[in-house]
Structure 1
């Protein structure tokens, strides 16, 4: 299983944080825009290909099936046309526990498995002839043995415990849909939606309102993280409270990944990055300021 480098860094840095608390800089964490090779919407982003010392590279998916990779040279297009080459939008992406496979889901039943080492894409789509738009995908387990869950706009979830192979899908219909969801376990779940609503379940559901806007994605890790939404707005969670970060874009943000750097993507090919993790020196929200 892929070791989370940020967790190791935070554990090693606890003493440093305590010792330098009084001397923190007053500057708020900034998100800067990076150029990408697409003008179409980017709907989601995830890190893959990492190990104990690196998060790997960020991969973004979007309109007409584009797949982008963030490299040392900048953002590069690694695939176009989606899973089957017919241009179906890719709306969500997740990664296996070992970081070796990206899974995409999108319009008209599209589901695909991407090998980040070889660049090969396997078509795992239209489970049980379901051609609805899959708005969210989640995978657990390692490459070649993944459990796959894809949620469509009708509130139905198609799932496979056999790496998404044809004939291995079942379905469930909880009947509810949220824009973004994140979980580190069955007893710690976060979700966001319209009206600036942030929901958290840790034994009971609790709602927090952080503004009059639609929030589209959320990533929380070890009690810190971010949520993103319309008009380029980013909110940081640390020390039990939400505070808004500054960005240099007004484009709607749709997807978010924590890493080095943190990355958010959205409309018109926008990608913004922030090199400061939410709970490190330089982040004012941890001080509640």
Structure 2
């Protein structure tokens, strides 16, 4: 049995119970995707809570996300949604995240400034694009938790935006233009989970499951990828994937899963030292040595 850290010592809430061999309290699409991608990385990040410097792309994505949330809330409240107000929201989030979740892996001050300018440019591009939200949204950053048939724990998820017609929208930062088919498939767990949550909570089926990519090219692009609502087959498939993650976590199945993702994984050193008998304490003791 592998003990986890005291929840009060964790840098963020995991939703996992304090001890292995028990079911998690709930599962989110992001947690399931992380576990299925590499169960050992999931363990190091969400159970052992090993702190790493924040990747630049992740820092930028979070700051942009906060600015978009500010814009959509302003539309919902009929308050200041000007370019200047949203740029100020980005600047505040950029500093707050750097302070609270840093350090960020900037090489130098020049890279930090480029990252900041990239964020301002993609936000301005979204506000000036045909994909910008028009009118009042139905919900912004709505957190749902519902019991879903076939899942042994509740499903949770926070939707970036629900448009007036119940279209679920999730925003992504990207360095290159996405391939629509690959993008929809890559984010299938997340998109279908949102549909399951929305149907359970409201009885409404979204007419579309959308991804809006903010692409950080020299001239920023805003690209919407639309996916039709999931049919029964897609729902069963995603529920099965979610349940696979739940059972793997409950049964303490955490092991290396070698692949291309290893080349950019932050936990390579911990993975090289992995043995199935290692405890959280062993890992932190080794890292501190």
Q: Which has the higher strand share?
A: 1
TM range (shorter): under 0.3
Give TM-score, length-normalised by structure 2: 0.28
Greater relative contact order: 1 or 2 (C-alpha under 8 angstroms, separation 6 or more)?
Answer: 2
Bigger Rg, structure 1 or 2: 2
* Structure number with higher helix proportion: 2
